[in-house]
Amino acid sequence: MTLPSERMLPRLFLTLLMAVLALAGWQWHDGAPLSANLMDLVPGTAPDALELKAEQRIQEPLNREMLVLVGHANRQQAIAMTKKLGEQWLASGVFEKVQWNLQADLPALRTQLLQGRLAMLSAADRQQLIEQPQAFIQQRVQALFDPFTGFSLVPSQDDWFGLTGRIQNSQPQHGSVQLDIGSGALVADADGKSWVLLRARTSGNAFDMQLPLKVAEQLLHSREEAARADVQLLAASGLLYAAHGQQQATREITWVGGGATLGILLLLLLAFRRLRVLLAFVPVLVGMLFGSVACVALFGHMHVMTLVLGSSLIGVAVDYPLHYLSKSWSLKPWHSWPALRLTLPGLTLSLATSCIGYLALAWTPFPALTQIAVFSAGGLLGAYLSAVCLLPALLKGTDLRPAQWPLRVAEFLLSVRQALLKRVRSSVLLVLVLAFCAGGLWHLTSKNDIRQWVGAPPQLMSEAQTIARITGYQPTSQFFLVRAANQQQLLERQKALGERLDLLVKQDKLKGYLALNQLVSMPSEQQQVREALNKLPAFWQPLLDLGIPVTALQAELAQLQALPVEDVAAALVGPLAEPWRPLWLGATDDGVAAMVSLQGLNDPALLRVQALDLPGVQLVDRLDDLNHVFAATQISAAELKLLSCVLIVLLLILPFGVGGALRLVALPLLAALCSLASLGWLGQPLTLFSVFGLLLVTAISVDYAILMREQIGGAAVSLLGTLLAAATTWLSFGLLAISSTPAVSNFGLSVSLGLAFSFILAPWARPSAHAAPVAEPAA
Amino acid sequence: MRSRGLMLLLVFSSQAFAFDLQQLSDQLAKPSVIHGSFIQEKHLRALPQPLTSKGTFVLAKDHGLLWLLKIPLQQDYRINAKGIARRDGSGWQMLPGKSAGAEQNRIFLAVLQGDSSGLQRDFELSLSGEAQNWKLTLTPRSMLLKQVFNQINIDGGELVQRIELLETQGDSTVLRMQDITSAAPLSDAEQHDFAE
């Protein structure tokens, strides 16, 4: 019963398996080539290097820093706990820098203020100096007597005109955080508690998979410790989202993979009643191995999301052995190699159509989907090869005596269908189905948002919002990129943008923004200040009246005149410049560039308008760009789907003829349409992911149509084969629907719906009994 | 043994009779309203003569402080829990709450009101003298304050009489309170100023 070639196949396959295992071993030799960075999954839309650099600057603190508020009704207790936690964190080795108190370097501050007297003066102070020198001097006299102006960092005799005091007082307030002068801590009061700010910056690189988990663990310990002292911690960091994503992915791989595995094994045992039939799981394992090796070989790494979605491959891979195992209901006695020979053409067609379906995903601009496509195609090939070359040898001599109840279920289902067809003709049913589809599609709404990729945990979200409310720090991912030929022009352009943003702030559409022109004025403005100072001797009599020697004033004036024009790089050196430092991008190929960062954005749509007709100013809004890419991809995905159907039709013409091929593809398409309609009726939005799911289902369900058309071993046996295949596939994809990542669950839901409809429609793959019998393909 | 007994006696007696911070706080917190005038001298290193200014003040326990500068220029200030305000043509204008300045004013208010618990957080306090003639010395504890103040000296009797701030940069400020009385209640105008 076994051909000589069939004796060779297992050995050849085992050699291949060894080679692939060796490759896998080499790929994993220095750590798991896994990645959890969300940005790996989305298309790269940033076209030029400068934009990319700017984006990384904005992203960096999100991915490396953690912001924590330590809250207690008693300020001193909150500070004490902050100090304690800060020390523990620094000792933990997870963080390279932990900061909770301001170690103000006053000498450096003084130097910066004195050096920046021409360049750092605010617009209002500059205007007063130029236009109302008399009032300017008057205010200075007043300030000298004022006991409440707060201490000036620079002593009066070094700055008789009070320029440093004005600069100090015009510094933008950063949120509602105040300095606790005793401890140097930054404290905000809200909700009846004092909240002390604690910032931590992680050591090590951001691509370390363990880092987010370590940070989350450290935070958890600290939370517990703080809770014992009745202190509350609020934390915000991109790292916490990453940690949550990883934990969730691990959990879901366990649930989906484990659930699908258990379910499928149970189904196999119940249906075939032989322990050895569990060997049918070998192709699944081989498939996983081939898939991950292919993925790492092509991309250098594999994303955890690929693993989550890829775990659904279990249900598809197990279909290959089921093809010939299910023949045991009609072939008596059943022998592995002959059963395989009988089903090999169908199996091969099934591999081809599934691969076409999966690989269609690879042509979308989504790295995530390309990875899944490669993983799945590689996996299917591995599963197919092991099912064809190895498994029959392993199952040789097994005497399959399957349970009869599944067959009776299939027969019952067929009789129900017959009864239905007796009353209602197929054409009428088709009209009804189309009406159902039309109604559902009418209700279908489309929704595309990057946030579907992130299963945003409500607790992290609400903590981040609370922190934003308490501190006023609300960094946004959008920013403006400003380019110019030189610094003067750059600052001019930032000023023009700033005037528009000021309006938004006034209208409460924006909390605030940071731009370099707030720190340092244009060279031309610095020159104006210099000229205005030169005219001061005509107005400084009130200062002389106080007893200030005229020589002192003259010396100071000479000193001010000698100050060089301060450029951006020089202005960024001192401690006051810290918030602005990341904004400066420096020299570019055609000039200079800098960013303008935003705080507390309430209306993103307004931003795009601000950059219009401002030369050199560009809004960078990665999320919005991505959402546009999503929407565009949805359309190209639909086109790909049709294209893949054309390919499948072409493939099927050879064995089934044009009419047969069209019929075999029309059914999965109708099933996809029904699923779309169901989404509409269920009130679920159509997303990019549901489209991808349906794209896939078309490819898989062609298989069911082929099974039902060929009807090897009779209608009931074929339906049973289809039922088993659909059930195993559904076990793995359907479980994805429980994922808390909206994208994944949406994908699972649409595949589940598609599978159900494909199963129901599959019997129509064979023209009804009264039509002329179609020639059976060579079996 | 005898000498130890003697020492114990001395310790006990000094604790029993010395004028302590709590008593000072109680004493300064007693009057609900204080009126008085002040002379402020700002000694700047570079000037031979101090910058001298004069005016009156009203310290109300439950409301805060009115500081009315009269000479050489007229300017009214108000400090309360909300922050510091300055009067211009159209009324009281809150000054932007600069963190360091706000803290300094909190300390200033604490000094005048004898709120030693508020001061103890930021300063080492050392008190000498007796209830009618005491001297309180404040030495900054934190690095930040140490970079600004060397010391703050406060002298007083029934109430605070003299405050001296010694800045690290070499400048100093002396505030002298005179004609202090706790007899009169808040006038209508003063009540209005606090309420606004």
Say whether pLDDT at A199 is over 50.
yes
Q: Please check whether residue B25 lies inside any domain of the structure.
A: yes
pLDDT, one tens digit per residue, over A605-621 is 788 888 888 899 988 88
Please give the Cα distance from A304 to A37 (Å, whole number). 9
- Domain match, A128 and A221 both: no
Q: Please check whether residue B145 lies inside any domain of the structure.
A: yes
Say whether pLDDT at A554 is over 90.
yes
Q: Please check whether residue A529 lies inside any domain of the structure.
A: yes
SS3 content of chain B, % helix, strand, coil (to 5): 30, 45, 25
Give the best residue of B71, B87, B142 to mutate against chain A (max A CB count within 10 A).
Answer: B142
pLDDT confidence of residue A353 = 86
Strands B51-60 and B64-71, sheet pairing: antiparallel
For all residues of chain A together, what is the average pLDDT?
84
DSSP H helical segments within A593-621, as ranges?
604-611
What is the Cα B168 distance to its own chain's centre?
19
CATH number at residue B103: 2.50.20.10
Work out the angle at residue A417's Cα, subtended by the Cα atoms of residues A411 and A419, and round it to the nearest 5 degrees. 105
Least confident range of A89-98, A402-411, A444-453, A687-696: A444-453
Among A211, A236, A261, the domain boundary falls at A236
- Domain match, A427 and A335 both: yes
pLDDT, one tens digit per residue, over A455-468 is 667 888 888 888 88
- Domain match, A590 and A649 both: no
Give the best residue of A125, A140, A151 to mutate against chain B (max B CB count within 10 A).
Answer: A151
Q: CA A276 → CA A144, A266, A331, distances in Å?
A: 95, 13, 18
Q: Which residues of B touch A104 (CB under 8 A)?
A: 144, 147
pLDDT, one tens digit per residue, over A387-398 is 999 888 888 877
Q: Tell me which residue in B47, B122, B145 faces A547 most closely, judged by beta carbons.
A: B47
- The domain total for chain A is 3
Q: Tell me which residue in A144, A150, A546 faces B100 most closely, judged by beta carbons.
A: A150
* Token pair for B144: 């930040």
What's phi and psi for A585, nearest 5 deg? Answer: -100, -10
pLDDT confidence of residue A173 = 67
| Long-range contacts of A437-443, Cβ-Cβ distance < 8 Å, separation of 24 or more | A437/A673, A437/A674, A437/A676, A437/A677, A438/A677, A439/A677, A439/A680, A439/A681, A440/A674, A440/A676, A440/A677, A440/A678, A440/A679, A440/A680, A440/A681, A441/A673, A441/A676, A441/A677, A441/A680, A442/A680, A443/A680, A443/A681, A443/A683
For A650, the domain range is: 4-31+243-452+625-765
pLDDT confidence of residue B17 = 52
- Domain match, A598 and A515 both: yes
Closest approach of A104 to chain B, Cα-based (Å): 7
Q: Under a CB-based contact definition with an 8 Å cutoff, are residues B68 and B56 in contact?
A: yes
Say whether pLDDT at B144 is over 80.
no
Q: Under a CB-based contact definition with an 8 Å cutoff, are residues A339 and A712 in contact?
A: no
* Token pair for B129: 């003298």
- Domain match, A120 and A47 both: no
Q: Please check whether residue A418 lies inside any domain of the structure.
A: yes
Global pTM reads: 0.72
For B180, the domain range is: 19-195
pLDDT confidence of residue B103 = 64
- Domain match, A729 and A702 both: yes
Q: How long is chain A?
A: 779
Closest approach of B53 to chain A, Cα-based (Å): 7
Give the best residue of A139, A145, A183 to mutate against chain B (max B CB count within 10 A).
Answer: A145
pLDDT (mean) for A265-274: 87
CATH number at residue A232: 3.30.70
* Token pair for A546: 């106080």
| Confidence category of residue A496, pLDDT binned at 50, 70, 90 | very high
Give the best residue of B169, B171, B174, B177 to mutate against chain A (max A CB count within 10 A).
Answer: B169
Q: Please check whether residue B11 lies inside any domain of the structure.
A: no
- Domain match, A267 and A303 both: yes
DSSP H helical segments within A99-232, as ranges?
106-115, 123-131, 133-145, 163-170, 210-228
Q: Which residues of A touch B42 (CB under 8 A)?
A: 144-145
- Domain match, A601 and A582 both: yes
pLDDT (mean) for A360-389: 87
Closest approach of B157 to chain A, Cα-based (Å): 23
Percent of chain A with pLDDT over 70: 93
Q: Under a CB-based contact definition with an 8 Å cutoff, are residues A260 and A731 in contact?
A: yes
- Domain match, A306 and A355 both: yes
- Domain match, A403 and A448 both: yes
Closest approach of B69 to chain A, Cα-based (Å): 9
Q: Which residues of A touch B47 (CB under 8 A)?
A: 157, 546-548
pLDDT confidence of residue A771 = 39
Closest approach of A159 to chain B, Cα-based (Å): 11
The end-to-end CA distance of chain B, in Å, is 66
Could you tell me which residues are beta bridge partners of residue B94?
Answer: B85
pLDDT confidence of residue B7 = 43
Among A594, A620, A646, the domain boundary falls at A620
pLDDT, one tens digit per residue, over A20-55 is 999 998 888 877 777 766 666 666 655 678 888 888
Q: Which residues of A touch B99 (CB under 8 A)?
A: 178-179
* Helix pair A49-64, A238-252: axis angle to 10 deg: 80
Say whether pLDDT at A347 is over 60.
yes
Q: Please check whether residue A651 lies inside any domain of the structure.
A: yes
Please give the Cα distance from A658 to A338 (Å, whole number). 30
Q: Tell me which residue in B40, B75, B169 faces A155 most closely, judged by beta carbons.
A: B169
Contact B143 A184 (CB under 8 A): yes
- The domain total for chain B is 1
Residue ranges with strand state E in A605-727: 617-620
- Domain match, A473 and A591 both: yes
pLDDT (mean) for B52-65: 88
Please give the Cα distance from B35 to B181 (Å, whole number). 5
- Domain match, A391 and A427 both: yes
Closest approach of A541 to chain B, Cα-based (Å): 15
Contact A181 B122 (CB under 8 A): yes
Say whether pLDDT at B143 is over 60.
yes
Please give the Cα distance from A751 to A734 (Å, whole number). 7
Among A196, A219, A236, the domain boundary falls at A236
Please give the Cα distance from A490 to A516 (Å, whole number). 9
Residue that the structure tokens 């090796």 belong to: A293
pLDDT confidence of residue A195 = 92
Could you tell me which residues are beta bridge partners of residue A618?
Answer: A481
* Token pair for A604: 């993103």
pLDDT confidence of residue A71 = 92
Contact B73 A148 (CB under 8 A): no
Q: Tell me which residue in B47, B84, B175 faces A548 most closely, judged by beta carbons.
A: B47
Q: What is the amino acid identity at position A251? A: R
Q: Under a CB-based contact definition with an 8 Å cutoff, are residues A749 and A343 in contact?
A: no
Q: Please check whether residue B6 lies inside any domain of the structure.
A: no
Contact B84 A547 (CB under 8 A): no
